[in-house]
């Protein structure tokens, strides 16, 4: 993990030097949860709908999704995950604080009647390829390690080359690196999570066709092979619980 510590230090320095521009990294929080007896996804979404009204009224700078496992194994045994994003860590803290006062307290109590959560973690998100329209979709995650040859500058150069290839292939979807932060279990020893976002299962299947039968995996190895190695891919159905309107 020494290499990732060095990279995160570079990231934090870069963030502090570019505060007048769009931040290159932004925060995400994640909860892993199990449904309480007699509760299910619909109960979770019912409370989420009332929470969305409160978030809108409170002016939260916060987008969120509920993740339901689709392709998975016993290594990831949570029933459901909540992921939430803000433009800055301060705005994420504001959103969290709003759940500790007034109506937020009552909503949190209602959430806890539906699910019991065993982890709450923080991540730094590094977008590789943005999604034009946010909403429901499919999220695939893989555990990745950096090689000794990897530097942040080399990653960015590889990203640029990879994006050019994806433009030529007509790839539709988003890509990101999720760097682990606070609340991460000590059992997690990878450097980051690689996230691939599609707007539907069909679109995700099309992307897999491109990777497996269209030469995508071979091209990815050409671009990132000396920098990154990934494994343990799993897939989730992502249901949007709140997406802020684009300005």
Inform me whether the pLDDT recorded for 234 exceeds 50: yes
The predicted structure's pLDDT at residue 4:
39
118: confidence class by pLDDT, cuts 50, 70, 90: very high
190 neighbors 233 (Cβ within 8 angstroms): no
For the chain, percent of residues with pLDDT exceeding 70: 89
Residue appearing with tokens 């209602």: 110
Pairing between strand 228-242 and 174-180? Answer: unpaired
205: confidence class by pLDDT, cuts 50, 70, 90: confident
What average pLDDT does range 113-140 have in this prediction?
A: 93
18: confidence class by pLDDT, cuts 50, 70, 90: very low
What average pLDDT does range 200-219 have in this prediction?
A: 82
What average pLDDT does range 132-158 have in this prediction?
A: 92
99: confidence class by pLDDT, cuts 50, 70, 90: very high
Pairing between strand 192-198 and 174-180? Answer: antiparallel
The predicted structure's pLDDT at residue 217:
77
Query: What is the distance between the alpha carbons of residues 116 and 94, in angstroms, rounded to a whole number?
Result: 23
Look at domain 2-242 and name its CATH class. alpha beta
Higher confidence at residue 72 or residue 109? Answer: 109
Inform me whether the pLDDT recorded for 9 exceeds 50: no
The predicted structure's pLDDT at residue 246:
58
Mean pLDDT (the chain) is 87
The predicted structure's pLDDT at residue 5:
39
Side-chain-facing half-sphere of 181: CA atoms under 13 Å: 21
Domain spans, the chain? 2-242
Q: Of 151, 178, 13, nearest to 83 (Cα)?
A: 178
Sign of the C-alpha dihedral, residues 111, 115, 120, 121? negative
The predicted structure's pLDDT at residue 168:
86
36 neighbors 114 (Cβ within 8 angstroms): yes
What average pLDDT does range 194-202 have in this prediction?
A: 92
Structure-token pair, residue 227:
């920098």
Inform me whether the pLDDT recorded for 34 exceeds 80: yes
Structure-token pair, residue 207:
């992307």
Beta-strand ranges (E) seen in 113-217 are: 115-129, 137-146, 174-180, 192-198
Tabulate helix, strand, coil % of the chain (nearest 5). 40, 30, 30
Query: Angle at CA 24, nearest 5°, toward 23 and 25?
Result: 90
Inform me whether the pLDDT recorded for 16 exceeds 70: no
């Amino acid at each position: 993990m020494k290499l990732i510590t060095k990279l995160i230090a570079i990231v934090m320095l870069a963030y502090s030097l570019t505060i007048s521009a769009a931040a290159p990294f932004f925060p995400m929080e994640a909860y892993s949860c199990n449904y309480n007896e007699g509760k299910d996804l619909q109960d979770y979404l019912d409370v989420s709908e009332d929470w969305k009204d409160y978030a809108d009224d409170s002016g939260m700078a916060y987008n969120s999704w509920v993740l339901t496992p689709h392709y998975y194994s016993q290594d990831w045994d949570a029933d459901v995950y909540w992921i939430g994003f803000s433009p800055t860590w301060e705005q994420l803290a504001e959103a969290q604080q709003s759940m500790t006062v007034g109506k937020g307290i009552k909503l949190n109590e209602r959430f806890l009647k539906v699910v019991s959560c065993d982890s709450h973690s923080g991540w730094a998100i590094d977008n590789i390829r943005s999604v034009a329209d946010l909403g429901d979709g499919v999220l695939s995650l893989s555990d990745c390690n950096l090689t000794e040859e990897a530097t942040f500058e080399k990653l960015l150069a590889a990203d640029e080359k990879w994006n050019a290839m994806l433009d030529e292939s007509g790839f539709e979807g988003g890509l990101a690196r999720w760097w682990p932060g606070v609340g991460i279990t000590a059992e997690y020893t990878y450097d980051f999570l690689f996230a691939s976002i599609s707007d539907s299962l069909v679109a995700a299947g099309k992307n897999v066709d491109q990777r497996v039968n269209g030469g995508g995996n071979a091209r990815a190895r050409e671009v990132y092979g000396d920098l990154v190695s990934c494994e343990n891919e799993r897939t989730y159905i992502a249901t949007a619980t709140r997406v802020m309107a684009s300005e």
